Chain A
Amino acid sequence: MREGRKAYLSQTQAAWVLLTPFLATYALFLIYPFFRGIWISLHDWNLLAVAFNPDAKEFVGLRNYERVMWGRNITWGFASPVLQALGLLGLVAAAYLLLTNRLGRFNAIALAVVSAALVFLPGFHPGEGGRWYDRRFWPTVGNTILFVAWAVPGVTISAMVLAAALNRETKAMGALRTLFFLSQVLSVTVVTLIWQIMFSPRQGLIANVMEVFGASPINWLTDEKFAMAAIVIATVWWSLGIAMILFLAGLQDISKDIYEAAALDNAKGIKAFWYITLPNLRRTITLVVVLQIILHFQVFGQSHLMTQGGPNDTTQVLVRYIYQTGFRDSELGRASAMAVFLFLIMGLFSVVQFIVGREKS
């Protein structure tokens, strides 16, 4: 620095001046609430009672977690053989694929962990005379996973196929991409508004079209068999755009020479897609899948607005259950325990995303 310029801030001072506004909001509205959430989850905390009298909360330790996730006389066994057999199969497949080098180590470990969880977790069930303290919690988690299990492959596969087809820089292709992306910018309430009426058995477009073909209308949103399918369809329609864009970016990285070389070997069209595009897109696929899992695990609006969690709780999802427990039943302690559970699952996938993202760059 020149003489006589001492009035200027030093680098450290300038840095803190610039950082303070963000760090203050960050500490106050993210860090502090996060720990406060854990704090609330350790209390018997009624929303209304505590609002009137701040001392009306009682420290209960981990009781809320127990009341949400555990029960009386819970034992472990082969309670849901289908899922557990699937898990065993997954474990065997992971070991086989790893030994034959068909799968990277990271993916094999991921598959093994998921499979092990599938063997282990569904095994818990109430023994004789026992019951879950909260009958709705695990079914709700199951519904959320089911929703993710339908929506993620639905979005990923259709986005990948579309991206492969749209991977050319022409005006027509650009216009088509715009059309597919458009629904992505709409808000969840607009999406649910549109699809509620689309699915309506009396006024809905789907029912009207089906009527022409002589089919009787389906009560999409009130039939236990179709409600989950309905919110998955609306979700795939809504969130295809980002996945498509990520795949298009991934496709740009595949060199044109490979395709030309393959064309000489008569690998074109679907064959080229299978043998060249797919293997080269592996990283992008993993990235898209992980992102979608994180995104869709937090599903709320579709279930809250289209089916109200029904019929018979078949579309009740985790965030909606947290919202209801907290704001309808006023049980903030229990709701916070569930929110911590949600955060742990999200955090796990965020770590996976972080690792995948670093591998990519």
Chain B
Amino acid sequence: MINKGYYWLIIALSIPAFLWLVPTLWMVSLSFQPNEVLARTTSTTFFGLIPLPFTAENYSALFAFGQTPWWFLNSVIVAVGMTLGVLAVSTTAGYALARLEFPFKKMIVVICLIGLMVPEQAVFIPLYTMFADFGWHNSYHALILPRMAVPIGVFLMMQFFQAIPKDIEEAARLDGVGWLKIFWYVMLPLARPAMMTLAILTFLYAWNDYLWPLVSAQQRDYFTITLGLASIQSNFAQSEGLGRVMASGVIASLPVVILFLIFQRYVVQAMTVGGSKG
């Protein structure tokens, strides 16, 4: 299969691939250039794609003042909390719907299916008024809880549990092990790949979500990094300096890009599932 045409194809594809990378590369490169230079021109060396003159000052300034580190920490708390929460409710419900027999099971599955059709944008106003009544806005749980109600994780886990052979469970049943113990000691360890996919899907969603944090977190102390970045980009060049805003962008992207590069297969799988179901 490998012939001359293949190498030409690689070369031909490298051009659009490089162009695809350019915007990201440019952000990284600008973040390493001094603000005084950027105020004059952004294309010092090779259209600014090579960071010369070089400085790391934007990053040290970011950690010395400004709220970016704090927002980053908020994002970590929200993303980890949401991931654990979604894993907890989805694995338990997914297992029950996949492997246990009980009255009204079909009805519950259908009700959950309908929930897949409700987009975030259709419920963010009533959610806002609800959380306002509870006095919950500007808190971590306000940022975490709404996502735990999205049934996509339940379906992901349900499909996985349905594919596990029944005899594993039956052997444990014959030994008199209770259902909850079977779930915890037998099924959960088997479900690690699906849990990994779901965890990554949730983490990415939490890290990148914009609309709900925008309405729920009005105090800057509770901004996530995604929201914080939006709040500083509208007046980027004047107040903060272009290099520093770009450095914030790089910091905001670092966790998801690292996650992607390490767990590429899971990330692609998670985003495909997420894209195709909610």
Interface residue ranges of B232-276 to A (CB < 8 Å): 233-234, 236-237, 242, 245-246, 249, 252-253, 256-257, 259-261, 264, 267-268, 271-272, 275-276
Bound-state CA distance A172–B17 (Å) is: 12
- Docked pose: A347 CA to B123 CA in angstroms: 13
> Per-position contact with A for B82-101: 1 when CB-CB < 8 Å, else 0?
00000011101101110011
> Which residue from A11, A186, A323 sits with its C-beta under 8 Å from B100?
A11
Chain B residues in 8 Å Cβ range of A197: 30, 42, 236, 242, 246
Q: Within the complex, which residue of A26, A36, A40, A168 is in contact with B115, where a contact is CB–CB below 8 Å?
A: A26
Question: Cβ of A287: which chain B residues have Cβ within 8 Å of it?
Answer: 276
Is A245 interfacial (CB 8 A cutoff)? yes
B226 / chain A contacts, CB cutoff of 8 Å:
187-190
User: Is A118 an interface residue, CB under 8 A from the partner?
Assistant: no
Partner among A26, A51, A172, A305 whose Cβ is within 8 Å of the Cβ of B132:
A51
Is B26 touching A194 in the complex (CB atoms < 8 A)?
yes
Q: Tell me how far the C-beta of A205 lies from the nearest C-beta in chain B, rounded to whole angstroms.
A: 6
Report if B195 contacts A (CB, 8 A). no
Closest to B39 in A: A203
B 207-218 binary contact with A (CB < 8 Å = 1; else 0): 110110011000
Contact in complex: B149, A26 (CB < 8 Å): yes
8 A Cβ contacts from A58-117 to B: none
Q: Chain A residues with Cβ under 8 A from B43's Cβ?
A: 205, 208
B256 and A193 contact, CB distance less than 8 A: no
Taking A29-B145, A190-B229 as contacts, is the C-beta distance between A182 and B24 under 8 angstroms?
yes
> How far does the alpha carbon of A327 sit from the alpha carbon of B245 in the complex, in Å?
27
The reply to whether A237 and B126 contact each other, CB–CB distance below 8 Å, is: no
User: Among B112, B245, B276, which residue has its beta carbon within 8 angstroms of that of A246?
Assistant: B276
In the complex, residue of chain B having the shortest beta-carbon distance to the beta carbon of A26: B149
Question: Which one of B48, B120, B124 has the greatest number of beta carbons of chain A within 10 Å?
Answer: B124
Contact B210 A165 (CB under 8 A): no
Point out the residue from B97, B246, B271 that lies within 8 Å of A19, measured CB to CB.
B97
Residues of B within 8 A of A51 (CB): 132
Bound complex: CA of A335 vs CA of B132, how far in Å?
17
Cβ of B66 under 8 Å from chain A: no
Interface residues of A in 11-31 (CB under 8 A from B): 11-12, 14-19, 21-23, 25-26, 28-31
- Interface size grouping (class) on chain A: 35 or more
Q: Contacts of A30 on B, CB cut-off 8 Å?
A: 115, 118, 123, 146, 149-151
- Interface mask (A172-207 → B, CB under 8 Å = 1, otherwise 0): 110010111111111111101111111000011100
Q: A344 CB to closest chain B CB, in angstroms? A: 9
Q: What is the CA–CA distance of A295 and B108 in the complex, to the nearest angstrom?
A: 26
CB distance B92 to A343 under 8 Å? no
CA distance A197 to B33 in the complex (A): 15
> Are the CB atoms of B179 and A11 closer together than 8 Å?
yes
Whether B165 is near chain A, meaning CB under 8 Å from some CB there, is no
Q: Give CA–CA (A184, B205) in the complex, Å.
A: 12
- A18/B178 in contact, CB under 8 A: no
Known A22-B92, A346-B117; judge A205-B233 contact (CB<8 A). Answer: no
Q: When A9-B179, A21-B93, A181-B268 are in contact, do A16 and B125 touch as well, CB less than 8 Å?
A: no
Evaluate contact between A182 and B21: CB separation under 8 angstroms.
Answer: yes
Query: What are the residues of chain B within 8 A of A178 when measuring CB–CB?
Result: 261, 264
Is the beta-carbon distance between A332 and B129 smaller than 8 angstroms?
yes
Residues of B within 8 A of A319 (CB): 121, 211
State whether the Cβ of A326 lies closer than 8 Å to any Cβ in chain B: yes
User: Are the C-beta atoms of B9 and A165 separated by less than 8 Å?
Assistant: yes
Min Cβ gap B276→A in Å is: 6
Tally B residues with Cβ within 8 Å of A: 102
Taking CB atoms, residues of chain A closer than 8 Å to B256 are: 185-187
- Which B residues touch A1, using CB under 8 A? 176
A179 touches B22 (CB 8 A): no
Chain A: CB-nearest residue to B48: A205
Contact of A326 among B48, B103, B125, B259 (CB under 8 A): B125
Q: Is the CB of A11 within 8 A of B42?
A: no
A242 is an interface residue with CB less than 8 A from chain B: yes
- Chain B residues whose C-beta falls within 8 Å of the C-beta of A33 in the assembled complex: 123, 126-127, 130
The listed residue (B100, B117, B176, B237) touching A2 by CB distance below 8 A is B176
Encode A131-165 as 1/0 by CB contact (under 8 A) with B.
00000000000000000000000000000001001
Is A276's beta carbon under 8 Å from chain B? no
Query: What are the nearest 10 A-B pairs in CB distance?
Result: A14-B179, A187-B208, A22-B93, A29-B149, A343-B122, A36-B126, A22-B89, A33-B126, A8-B178, A18-B96
| Additional pairs, 18, CB under 8 Å, beyond known A29-B149, A193-B229, A335-B125 | A2-B176, A18-B93, A29-B127, A30-B118, A36-B129, A176-B13, A185-B204, A186-B208, A186-B256, A187-B256, A188-B208, A189-B227, A203-B42, A205-B22, A205-B47, A208-B47, A245-B271, A336-B126
Listed A/B pairs (23) with beta-carbon separation below 8 Å: A11-B102, A11-B179, A15-B96, A15-B100, A19-B92, A21-B93, A29-B148, A31-B111, A39-B126, A165-B9, A166-B13, A180-B20, A183-B24, A187-B252, A187-B253, A187-B256, A190-B27, A190-B249, A205-B22, A205-B26, A246-B272, A327-B215, A342-B122
